[in-house]
Amino acid sequence: MVKSRDEGWRGVRRFRRPVLTPVVPKRRPAVTAHRGASVSNAEHTLGAYTTALELGAEGIECDVRLTADGHLVCVHDRRIDRTSTGTGAVSTFQLEQLEALDWATWKNPWGEFDDEAEGEESEGAAFLTLERLLDVVKDWGKPVELAIETKHPTRYAGLVERRLVELLDRYGWARPRRGATSPVRIMSFSWISLRRCLEMAPGLPMVYLMERVPLRLRDGSLPLGASVAGPSIDIVRAHPEYVEKVHAAGHEVDVWVVNTTSDIALCAGLGVDAIITDNPADALQQLTGRR
């Protein structure tokens, strides 16, 4: 007997495809700050995120990796060489060692010689754990969407996803009670990573990130359990009709990384649900007409 598609995916048999209802595009795309306001601040620092929220961004995005002593930290690259004064893989360092490094100077290496430059305060330039970022979202005073991307491959296999769901559980955001909502959506280029998260937190939105759209998904469908398509801006430029196909299939569309005036206009015209941008200030000004 040939197995059904659901039966061939161990652990996700309960995630049946729902009856598809076309998604009605929002009035304008929500603006999500990519690694914070990373065009002006050192990415993944506290200052980058608070700046984005002060500007009015509706959402923020972060990447997470696991340290040698089991802490989830906000770092994009596998190695820390580009964005810190250290060298080596994130997974080989303990949290205390990472916190002792400088994570902001790389953004403005000549800043110490500029008497007129304000520079980033030490608190705003501090190395950021996911837990601290969750506190920012919780305490901000108004709703904030948080998109968390799990980075792969990793030496810790499924431990990243397990620690992530455990941490979200502490905030009541992994399995929100009836009537409550979670500000979190989980993103990954790895469907295996999203599947692990689905098994532990089936109620959270899962964003399937793509640098190219697989042939089997070009009709707008997504892997079983994913509810949001995450195409690159390159995909949307080359195949703008893809957005309508995803909406017709009942899914939302979050596009990364949307920085130019023309790309923002394109996404707004196509009715995408969210743009992920390095420059939330310019995106918000263009979309709302307000500074």
pLDDT in tens, 259-283: 999 999 999 999 999 999 999 999 9
Whether residue 84 lies inside any domain: the answer is: yes
- Domain span holding position 81: 30-110+123-288
Confidence of residue 3 (pLDDT cuts 50, 70, 90): very low
Distance set, CA 246 to CA 129, 227, 254 (Å): 34, 10, 11
pLDDT band, very low/low/confident/very high, at 30 (cuts 50, 70, 90): very high
Give the count of domains, the chain.
1
Q: What is the CATH number of the domain that holds 252?
A: 3.20.20.190
Residue 7 in any domain: the answer is no
Residue 233 lies in a domain: yes
* 10 band by pLDDT with thresholds 50, 70 and 90: very low
pLDDT digits (tens, 9 = 90+) for 144-190: 999 999 998 888 879 999 999 999 999 999 998 888 899 999 999 99
pTM for the model:
0.89
Q: Is-catalytic flag, 34?
A: yes
Cα separations in angstroms, 65 against 26, 110, 157, 164, 187: 32, 29, 11, 10, 13
Contact, 148 vs 73, CB < 8 A? no
pLDDT, one tens digit per residue, over 103-112 is 999 997 765 5
pLDDT value, residue 11: 41
User: Among residues 44, 76, 247, 251, which one is catalytic?
Assistant: 76
Please confirm, yes or no, whether 152 is among the known catalytic residues: no
The predicted structure's pLDDT at residue 5:
39
